[in-house]
Amino acid sequence: MIREYVNEDFDKLEMNGYIDPELYGDRLRLMLEAYNSYTMETEGKVMAIISFREYTRGCYSAFVLCSTLLEGKHTKELKVFIQGCIEALEAIRVETLSLKDDVIDRFHRFLGFSLEGTKVKFFNNKDYNMWAWVGGNNGS
């Protein structure tokens, strides 16, 4: 089930290692409140938090915080939900940033995002990939 995010969801999420909390620091919780955020929950456990924010007409910044408990069946539901949000928002562009890593790269491609480039040594001496979904490029 995916529902609107509530503040308590952040504390229930057993975050996987694919987001560096230091990158956002204390702002991460504030970002979840400022963005349009949703929670994927299964049997009372938070599996993921999905967030979108419009930065200019039709263009969105987005991120997904995933649980260590997230499984393949959840990622399929996540993909359908994200595609539904993109359609409902009538988005032209949705962009995100992630650590450069084979697993997370496959995850972004599965969700329908295309790699736009890499920010070399962007934060904590680590490379980050820039991803975007651009209208008509939904991974189908």
Domain boundaries of the chain, sorted by first residue:
2-97
**What is each CA distance from 132 to 56, 59, 61, 79, 100, in whole angstroms?**
15, 10, 9, 14, 14
> Is pLDDT above 60 for 46?
yes
Banded pLDDT at 26 (limits 50, 70, 90): confident
- At 95-110, the pLDDT tens digits run 999 989 999 999 999 9
DSSP string, 85-123: HHHHHT-SEEEEEEE--HHHHHHHHHHT-EEEEEEEEEE
Task: Fill in the amino acid letter for 91.
Answer: A
Closest CA to 103 of 9, 19, 6: 19
Average of per-residue pLDDT values in the chain: 90
Q: Find, among 70, 60, 29, the residue nearest to 133 by Cα.
A: 60
Identity of the residue numbered 102 = D
For residues 39-59, average pLDDT = 95
Of 37-46, 67-76, 116-125, 131-140, which gets the smallest average pLDDT? 131-140
**pLDDT value, residue 24:** 66
Residue found under tokens 């299964």:
42
Superfamily of domain 2-97: Gcn5-related N-acetyltransferase (GNAT) (3.40.630.30)
